[in-house]
Amino acid sequence: YKGFLESALAPDEMLTEIRVPKLNMTGWSFQKFNRRAQDWAIVGVAAWKSKSDSGVALVNMGSTPILATSVSAAVNKGASAADAAELAANEAEPQSDLNASSEYRVHLAKVLVRRALEQATS
């Protein structure tokens, strides 16, 4: 994946399988905000949390999905979901478009990261 609607596959290549290993003792959550159910997410967040590690990714906060390593590091050091969520936009430079301003995307990212982390740890 290179960017919006831009695949890394060559014209003669085809994706035939994706394997996602089951993670034992891991909570996870996917949160997204969109105006209507069939719309692209204005901002999306995927989060997972195990006893010793965590991960958070943001979509539509840049031209490609972003790993929010500062959020994961804060969670791994014991920060609350609310405190870690405040770091959500540190690694992103969202663009404004007809759906949302960059400031609104930052706000949504913080809210959705908090919700995702709370759900992943519950």
DSSP string, 66-104: EE-HHHHHHHHTT--HHHHHTTTTTT--PPP-SS--HHH
Residues 6+ apart with CB under 8 A from 9: 15
Check: pTM over 0.85? Answer yes or no.
no
pLDDT digits (tens, 9 = 90+) for 40-99: 899 999 999 998 899 999 999 998 899 999 999 999 999 999 999 999 888 888 999 999
Superfamily of domain covering 27-120: CO dehydrogenase flavoprotein, C-terminal domain (3.30.390.50)
Question: What gap in Å lies between CA 74 and CA 72, rounded to an integer?
Answer: 5
Q: How many residues does the chain have?
A: 122
Residue ranges covered by each domain of the chain: 27-120
Cβ neighbours, 10 Å, residue 108 = 25
pLDDT of residue 116: 98
Question: What gap in Å lies between CA 107 and CA 21, rounded to an integer?
Answer: 32
Residues 6+ apart with CB under 8 A from 33: 41, 42, 43, 44, 108, 111, 112
Q: Give the burial string for 71-96 (b: 16+ CB within 10 Å, else e).
A: bbebbeeebebeebbbbbbeebebee
Among 16-25, 29-38, 80-89, 112-121, whose mean pLDDT is lowest? 16-25
Q: pLDDT confidence of 38, banded at 50, 70, 90?
A: confident
Q: pLDDT confidence of 119, banded at 50, 70, 90?
A: very high
